[in-house]
Amino acid sequence: MTTQIPDSCTFDGRKWEIVDLEGASDCVPSNESLGIVTCSPGTNNWSGRIDHFMVHRDQLYLFKVEVCLDLSNKGILPFGARREVIRRYPVYEHHNDQGLRLVEHVIESERLVFDDLKISFTGRMYLAYPYADEWELLWPIDETDLDPIWEAVLTFDDGRLVDVDERPVEAG
């Protein structure tokens, strides 16, 4: 099975990969409660959604939801959200009878950005740093650039950060 794109959490000025949630994660708004229907853009994102959380002043927020909206939902904007559209222009090699050419493609992704969507999560959030978004790294990418170098466990009580255990990943 293809590895799924992980959710993220911005904490202490850094974007972390969410490795696991232990606790009541049903407090995260579902697609239904947001009034949207998503579809899978590929095998690396079956749900059509990637959540990006943020800890700000010791409170957990759902800051952005990266979505692939179903065609019937294009243009729908949940209450309290604004839309962010990102266009990337990767260049691919195209081989045909005329030889090698470079072809530019447009890849568009959409995010729903919330300014004040507090999450009343109670439990532990297990994190790894860095969040491996290849578009945010210098090219060419060395596979070791994607390896986690820090890990953290954030403990929340009703959305309030109550404990942090952060340490470097041991080489091994």
Any domain includes 106: no
Any domain includes 122: yes
Give dist(CA 7, CA 13) in Å, integer: 16
Give dist(CA 12, CA 131) in Å, integer: 14
> CA–CA distance from 20 to each of 96, 126, 142 (Å)?
45, 5, 25
Any domain includes 79: yes
Average pLDDT over residues 48-66: 97
Average pLDDT over residues 70-93: 90
CB distance 17 to 128 below 8 Å? yes
Any domain includes 161: yes
- Please state which of the ranges 51-60, 90-99, 129-138 shows the lowest mean pLDDT: 129-138
Average pLDDT over residues 50-54: 97
Phi then psi for residue 98, to 5 deg, are -95, 5
Any domain includes 45: yes
Give dist(CA 6, CA 139) in Å, integer: 21
Average pLDDT over residues 7-30: 94
pLDDT of res. 51: 97
Residues above pLDDT 70, as percent of the chain? 93
Any domain includes 12: yes
Q: How confident is the model at residue 127 (pLDDT cuts 50, 70, 90)?
A: very high
Q: How many domains does the chain have?
A: 1
Range of the domain at 150: 8-83+112-168
